[in-house]
Chain A
Amino acid sequence: MNVMLRKALAGMLIGVLASTPALAAPAKGISDNVVKIGVLTDMSGVYSAIGGKGTLTAVEMAVADFGGTVLGKPIQVVSADHQNKADIASTKAREWFDTGKVDMVTGLLNSACALAVQKIGADKKRITMNTGAGSTDLTNKDCTPYGIHYAYDNYALANVAGSAIVSHGGKSWYFITADYAFGHSLEKNTSNFVQKLGGKVVGSVRHPLSTADFSSYLLQAQSSGAKVIGLANAGGDFTNAVKQAREFGIVQKGQTIAGMLVFDTDVKSLGLNTAQGMQFASGFYWDRDKASRDWSKRFYAKHKAMPTMDQAGAYSATMNYLKAIKAAGTDDPDAVMAKLRSMNISDFFAVNGKIRADGRMVHDMYLMEVKKPSESKGEWDILKIIKTVPGDQAFMPLSESVCSQVKK
């Protein structure tokens, strides 16, 4: 071996040795030289109008608005359809975290999928920012140091809407509930509020996710004699149930239909004639103020529909995640989580927002009412805000949370 070659080899060896410590402890900077955001949601099924491609569009808008890079590294967005199946969601999340360099997952509409992915995120030390699912378990018994529940939860929905309905005389309830984690949690939360306010729950029936015909369940609800029929389901299930309740004359005979989780797209699908007067809780409405209107119009130009709470939430979550990376100077999950918790979240989506120790993003919630056809001035002029409920009154108090991250 000649001297030149030996010297060159030695030089390379030294170079490798010298750079090793830096590789072993990337305390600062961006891991893998890219910040990758995964949008995992229902792209084709019963919830895809609520989340679906709209959520992906919102996240892409956030990345573009942020400038496409953070700390000099590119930001990439990937997406997948979890088909409302927890096992598919888990497999995809594992693949993203293990080999796909994904740093944060958002969307996660469907509680069964959300609970599974949040747990995997915690095992792999990756952040999950849930904008779609409702189960309160996400910030209670299944809470994690890396899981953020962003847009709304079942407790707040039940608190804001359930209380309003009970105080207007809806004292006896019968539930038609989607038979999985989300529906169970929503029914339980709403029942608690109904009972706390002196009402009673006379019964409930559970239906499989994505049911076309609700007439059997509706007849059971009708014969229960309850004043209020609470629909603890969402999306296509909710709209089918409401339509068919009308067909069987349930509302005309004096029973109230209460949707516990209603999105703008559902109201649009029902039409104002059918949905008018219905009250429900939401964390976002596009026509709330100038900021929300401006953003929503930009979204509309791309998506041809106004944003739902899930879609607007995904934009806000992504934006604040990127801001936190910039402020922390790294995409290290612990540092970013610490930044996110210390930030005030105030934008077109959230008013007075704050991420708590249990992962709950607390912000103002709204009691909404569907407009009468005569009040509506445009295609998407469908709701009005009746009451604004400050975040600390709308969401479960930290003292009631059973999350292990909360120090008591």
Chain B
Amino acid sequence: MDVTFQTVMSQLMLGLNNGAFYAVLSLGLAVIFGLLNIINFAHGALYMLGAFVALLGYTELGPLLGMPEFHLNYWAALIVAPLVVGGIGIILERTMLRRLYRVDHLYGLLLTFGVALIFQGIFTNYFNVSGTPYDGKPELLNGVVNLGFMMFPTYRLWSIVVSLTICFGTWFMIERTRLGSYLRAGTENPHLVQAFGINVPLMVTLTYGYGVGLAAFAGVVAAPIYSVSPVMGAEMIITVFAVVVIGGMGSIMGAIVTGLALGMVEGLTKVIYPPASSTVIFFMMVLVLLVKPAGLFGKEQ
């Protein structure tokens, strides 16, 4: 296939689209790792859960409430799903993760991995593994936009814009606001911050809730593009972890920039040498770790 300007540009757009998902997901992981020191392997499952809240809200909620005409529409799902899943996250943090802060990272990883398998197993039992279509995509976002070099589906354009907005909003909140500085200080020295009258445990709980809420948000945005399937998170999580490692564990900006960049690298690989597209990210990971063991944006400890 000829690699023309047009094909390169369209693949870059598609890469940006995937990269935006990587960015939102790895951002959540980075926030959780940076502030809680937990490697949250349940992130993929919570992303899947977000998509299912949107799907079930659209198809099942109405009949369940005795109002068959009622659908939880897409816009509402964008807010409800992160709240519901964030709530589940908060319960997880309060009842289980809290006990693991003082022990090795490995315990948190094992616990969250187990939680992920449980969620995935439950949903596999009740839903089609090859995916259920989400029909709640709003009229407004149907159709295609002419970008000059390609016709790009409106919905995908929307998903890029909304994901980037969320990413940079989160970055701004953590790096540039007073709340963010409390958070960062709380992780550096919880006792001192607590002495200033700030409720650190509550802050940590809410941070975890926010991080997994981001995953659920990505799940809702992904639902109309991919089929909603119990394994959608498992397929995504490994790549997203590679993104976090490349960006530097815990670095917010690192997660965002690396997510977008790797999406585009992957997109280009799909034109130049398709068989390598599933491994190119891990190849990059090896290269980066050889040169900068703390990741591109990470600080040596």
CB distance B231 to A274 under 8 Å?
no
Cα A52 to Cα B120 in complex, Å, equals 15
> With A219-B14, A249-B144 known to touch, is A243 a contact of B129 (CB < 8 Å)?
no
CB-defined contacts of B274 to chain A, threshold 8 Å = 179, 205-207, 217
Interface string of A260-287 (1 = CB under 8 A from B): 0000011011110010000000000000
Name the one of A45, A207, A249 contacting B129, with C-beta atoms under 8 angstroms.
A45
| CB-based nearest A residue for B231 | A45
Name the one of B10, B227, B278 contacting A269, with C-beta atoms under 8 angstroms.
B227
Interface string of A198-222 (1 = CB under 8 A from B): 0000010111101111011101100
Of B150-158, B170-178, B181-189, B211-219, the one touching chain A? B150-158
**Interface bracket on B:** 35 or more
CB distance B130 to A236 under 8 Å?
yes
CB distance B155 to A247 under 8 Å?
yes
CB distance B275 to A49 under 8 Å?
no
CB distance B131 to A215 under 8 Å?
no
> With A203-B1, A210-B235, A219-B11 known to touch, is A269 a contact of B151 (CB < 8 Å)?
no
Cα A240 to Cα B224 in complex, Å, equals 11
Cα A213 to Cα B225 in complex, Å, equals 9
Interface string of B250-266 (1 = CB under 8 A from A): 00000000000000000
> With A208-B278, A244-B225, A249-B144 known to touch, is A213 a contact of B14 (CB < 8 Å)?
yes
Asked if A110 is at the interface of the complex by the 8 Å CB criterion, the answer is no
CB distance B278 to A239 under 8 Å?
no
Asked if B18 is at the interface of the complex by the 8 Å CB criterion, the answer is yes
B18 nearest CB across to chain A (Å) = 6
Asked if B84 is at the interface of the complex by the 8 Å CB criterion, the answer is no
> With A44-B231, A219-B11 known to touch, is A240 a contact of B129 (CB < 8 Å)?
no
Name the one of B14, B128, B129 contacting A44, with C-beta atoms under 8 angstroms.
B129
| CB-based nearest A residue for B278 | A208
| CB-based nearest B residue for A249 | B144
Interface string of B126-156 (1 = CB under 8 A from A): 0011111101000000001000001101011
CB-defined contacts of A305 to chain B, threshold 8 Å = 128
How many residues in A have their beta carbons less than 8 Å from beta carbons of B?
42
| CB-based nearest B residue for A44 | B124
Interface string of B11-28 (1 = CB under 8 A from A): 100100110000000000
CB distance B131 to A269 under 8 Å?
yes
Cα A43 to Cα B226 in complex, Å, equals 21
CB distance A216 to B133 under 8 Å?
no
CB-defined contacts of B144 to chain A, threshold 8 Å = 248-249
Asked if A399 is at the interface of the complex by the 8 Å CB criterion, the answer is no
| CB-based nearest A residue for B155 | A247
Interface string of A72-101 (1 = CB under 8 A from B): 000000000000000000000000000000
Asked if B229 is at the interface of the complex by the 8 Å CB criterion, the answer is yes
B155 nearest CB across to chain A (Å) = 7
Cα A240 to Cα B128 in complex, Å, equals 13
CB distance B133 to A212 under 8 Å?
no
CB-defined contacts of B231 to chain A, threshold 8 Å = 44-46, 236
Asked if B94 is at the interface of the complex by the 8 Å CB criterion, the answer is no
Cα A210 to Cα B116 in complex, Å, equals 19
CB-defined contacts of B11 to chain A, threshold 8 Å = 216, 219
A230 nearest CB across to chain B (Å) = 16
Interface string of B263-287 (1 = CB under 8 A from A): 0000100110011011000000000
CB-defined contacts of B229 to chain A, threshold 8 Å = 236
Name the one of B18, B120, B130, B235 contacting A265, with C-beta atoms under 8 angstroms.
B130
Give chain A interface residues in 219-238, CB to chain B under 8 Å: 219-220, 223-224, 235-236, 238
CB distance A216 to B227 under 8 Å?
no
| CB-based nearest B residue for A204 | B274
Asked if B37 is at the interface of the complex by the 8 Å CB criterion, the answer is no
| CB-based nearest B residue for A179 | B275
CB distance A49 to B129 under 8 Å?
yes
CB-defined contacts of B7 to chain A, threshold 8 Å = 219-220, 223
CB distance B14 to A215 under 8 Å?
yes
CB-defined contacts of A49 to chain B, threshold 8 Å = 128-130
Cα A235 to Cα B275 in complex, Å, equals 20
CB-defined contacts of B226 to chain A, threshold 8 Å = 212-213, 240, 243
Give chain B interface residues in 40-87, CB to chain A under 8 Å: none
Cα A269 to Cα B129 in complex, Å, equals 9
> With A236-B229, A269-B128 known to touch, is A216 a contact of B271 (CB < 8 Å)?
yes
Cα A208 to Cα B131 in complex, Å, equals 18
CB distance A208 to B277 under 8 Å?
yes
Sorted nearest first, the 3 A-B pairs with minimum C-beta distance are A216-B270, A208-B278, A236-B130
Q: Which residues of B contact A (CB under 8 A)?
A: 1, 7, 10-11, 14, 17-18, 120, 124, 128-133, 135, 144, 150-151, 153, 155-156, 225-227, 229, 231-232, 235-236, 267, 270-271, 274-275, 277-278
Q: Could you list 23 A-B pairs, sorted by A, with CB under 8 Å? A: A45-B129, A52-B129, A203-B1, A212-B226, A213-B18, A213-B226, A216-B271, A216-B277, A217-B270, A219-B11, A224-B1, A238-B130, A239-B131, A240-B227, A247-B156, A248-B153, A249-B144, A249-B151, A265-B128, A266-B130, A269-B132, A270-B133, A305-B128
Q: Which residues of A contact B (CB under 8 A)?
A: 44-46, 48-50, 52, 179, 203, 205-208, 210-213, 215-217, 219-220, 223-224, 235-236, 238-240, 243-244, 247-249, 265-266, 268-271, 274, 305
Given A216-B14, A271-B135, 16 further pairs, Cβ under 8 A: A45-B129, A48-B129, A52-B129, A206-B275, A207-B274, A207-B277, A208-B278, A212-B232, A213-B14, A213-B17, A213-B225, A216-B11, A219-B7, A219-B14, A244-B225, A247-B155
